[in-house]
Amino acid sequence: MDEQEASERIEELRQQLRYHGYRYHVLDEPEISDFDYDQLLRQLIALEEEHPLLITPDSPTQRVGGPIGDLFAPVRHLRPLFSLDNIEATSELDAWGSRLRRGLGRPAEGFSCELKIDGLAVVLTYEEGKLARAATRGDGVTGEDITANLRTLKSIPLRLLGKPPRLLEVRGEVYMPLRAFEELNRRQTESELRIFANPRNAAAGSVRQKDPGITSGRDLGIWIYQVGLLEGGPPLARHSEQMAYLSELGLRVNPTSKAVSDLEEVKKFLLEAEKKRHDRDYQTDGVVIKVDLLADQLELGYTSHAPRWAVAYKFPPEEQVTTLRDIQINVGRTGAATPFAVLEPVQVGGATVTYATLHNEDELRRKDVRISDKVIVRRAGDVIPEVVGPVVSVRTGTEKPWSMPAKCPFCGHPIERPAGEKVARCTGGFECPSRVREWLFHFASRGAMDIEGMGYKTIDLLLREGLIDDPADIFLLKPEQLLGFEGWGEVSVANLMKGIEAARHRPLQRVLVALGIRHVGGTVARLLARRFHSLERLMSATPEDLAGVEGLGQVIANSVRAWSLDPDNIALVKKLADAGVSMADEEPQAGPSSDLLAGMTLVVTGTLESMSREQAESEITSRGGKAASSVSKKTVALVMGESAGQSKVSKAAELGVPVIDEKQFLRVLSEGLDALS
């Protein structure tokens, strides 16, 4: 390639990278996979290395990070943050090893291998051991001040342990655990709010909030992976020693990091890390390999955009482009019709993906996904595969927009979306087999009756053979009805029977969840069970009785009332009771509940979901405890609800008072303070 051709190709690559960078960072609607983006970037880097005179300051290779927003005050980092050069194969690792040897005049002495966490890079500054500032990475030189938000993360110490250094700047990655991500999206869907594309976006969205109360309500973690600047600390010769030191100071350092002596061992680490990548509670997208000896790092130095002493090994992509063959719908237990994608099967992150979620009708509209589109499919760990969006640039014009079918594909009844409602529903009621199947599955599931062995496979068999029509039929099953079906021997039948037997005696709260009353999830069910103790009493409660239950809004009260009056539900409840299913809890003894919290002071801040502040305080006092309004040394725990008071949270962190969430608080109320250990 001559200079002229190179120049043209470079310009072309830059334009493509700018466009895709904009789609990714600004619009959050990428058209190509991360992998393809990296390929383009690598081509550009290679060409620029061959033709250094063609490098311009505005080339995408010269930028360290994303643009900084204007929502937060700018913070200049004490030391700039660089990117990392990527490698994709172990041969490239050997090539890096050779470069190191050339640079040092001898092989590097030891490496640190670390998981590359897929989250949001942040910088924490500690002055005299106190958290002085937290910032996003920004463009690498200047970031955004997010101190108030990051102070709410329990895994970030506000004060370092032991004898702290005079000044410490560390870098780390804030992430959202996978479970928390799914739970957040579920809640967002329920509240008809924006859905996050992946845990990284969810973490970024949670951190870049004007209201720290929102950040504090999100489950976020952090892994610290680098010292930016350390003054007035012990002399340390290696990166791995620095990490051990940070860990002693109380900073969260990933325990899977490993110091090894040569590249052969690095390769073993890479294989292990890739094999286990889905076993973790957070997303990783590769492994970072660093030269361990700090003197060697200094000698090797930096290129214009990355250190020479570190590289990132990227796992194979978990995003692929494939064809969207069709969009079909599921009908859930409430009749809600939700679209999903049927794909040309494609390998993503080590699994074949044929179906992917499109979340809901509005989301599908927003993304403008059409049948026959080329779409980006993403799979992240345990997270259900999803369609990220269409690749608009390769459309041929034959793609067909989708619309919700007029009739339910399972029962033929009309699908309707009442004005003002977010979801379309099948109107077939219990004549819809899909709805009945989902209803049975929900009834038997973990948070509800928890019937061991009653998954989709069993339910499908029972429905197909006409052995059950509704949940009560489950309790009328006889072993001999099942024996002899394929895969059903004495042992499996006996196990299922045992599971069913156990489910006859679930607490009322679970029965209420299992019945699937609209708006009645675990928290509301607990309130109702605590107030009424039996289903009979709940069902005959007047609207006033219901409205009088603390924490219960009008919408829920109406829903419970309507459910209780429905003849089908009355019949079902009778059938369940006749089948020997427990429909009441034993009533608690009157008087003070216990002295479980005798002599202990707790402070409640913010709003709790399941009870009001006053109620929480009376729960504490009825157990012999004291509910105070400010945190002191005597406080045994600070209960933090939504929009908690920042000063209380900081004070607690300063005094080393445990900060607990609502779930933990409820456990403390039933088990005492031992629940925290």
| Footprint of ligand IVH (CB under 6 A) | 82-84, 114, 116-117, 121, 137, 173, 225-226, 288, 307, 310, 312
253: nearest Cα among 380, 131, 156, 375: 156
CB 18 to ligand IVH: min, Å: 19
User: Do the Cβ atoms of 309 and 290 come closer than 8 Å?
Assistant: yes
Residues 223 and 172 sit within 8 Å (Cβ to Cβ): yes
In 417-476 the beta strands, taken as DSSP E runs, fall at 425-426
Q: How far is the C-alpha of 355 from the C-alpha of 357, rounded, in Å?
A: 7
The one catalytic residue among 116, 290, 374, 648: 116
Are the CB atoms for 499 and 443 separated by under 8 Å? no
Return the number of the residue (98 or 303) whose C-beta is nearest ligand IVH: 303
Tokens (6 digits) for 324: 């969207």
Nearest to ligand IVH of 204, 668 (CB atom): 204
Strand boundaries in 139-294, DSSP class E: 142-144, 167-175, 221-231, 258-260, 284-291
Q: Smallest distance from the beta carbon of 117 to ligand IVH, in angstroms? A: 4
Distance of closest approach, residue 105 Cβ to ligand IVH, in angstroms: 23
Whether 478 is a known active-site residue: answer: no
Residue 147's DSSP bridge partners are none
End-to-end CA distance of the chain: 66
The tokens describing 178, both together, are: 């996978």
The DSSP code for 208 is S
Task: Decide if 605 contacts 501 (C-beta within 8 A).
Answer: no
Q: Report CA torsion sign: 450, 452, 455, 458.
A: negative
Nearer to ligand IVH, 143 or 213 (CB): 143
Residue nearest to ligand IVH (CB): 121
Min dist. Cβ of residue 226 to ligand IVH (A):
5
Nearest approach in angstroms of CB 193 to ligand IVH is 27
- Closest distance between ligand IVH and the C-beta of residue 257, in Å? 7
Tell me the closest approach of the beta carbon of residue 310 to ligand IVH, in angstroms: 5
Sequence-separated (6 or more) residues with CB below 8 Å from residue 542: none
Q: Which is nearer to ligand IVH, 51 or 258 (CB)?
A: 258
SS3 at position 351: strand
Closest CB to ligand IVH among 142 and 334?
142
> 250 φ, ψ to 5°?
95, 10
Q: Which two tokens stand for residue 466?
A: 């006409």
Q: List the one residue out of 496, 117, 525, 511 whose CA is nearest residue 283.
A: 117
176 vs 638 by CB, closer to ligand IVH: 176
Nearer to ligand IVH, 221 or 428 (CB): 221
What distance in Å separates the CA atoms of residue 635 and residue 152, rounded to the nearest whole number?
A: 19
Crossing angle of helices 90-104/263-275, nearest 10°? 150
Active site residues: 116
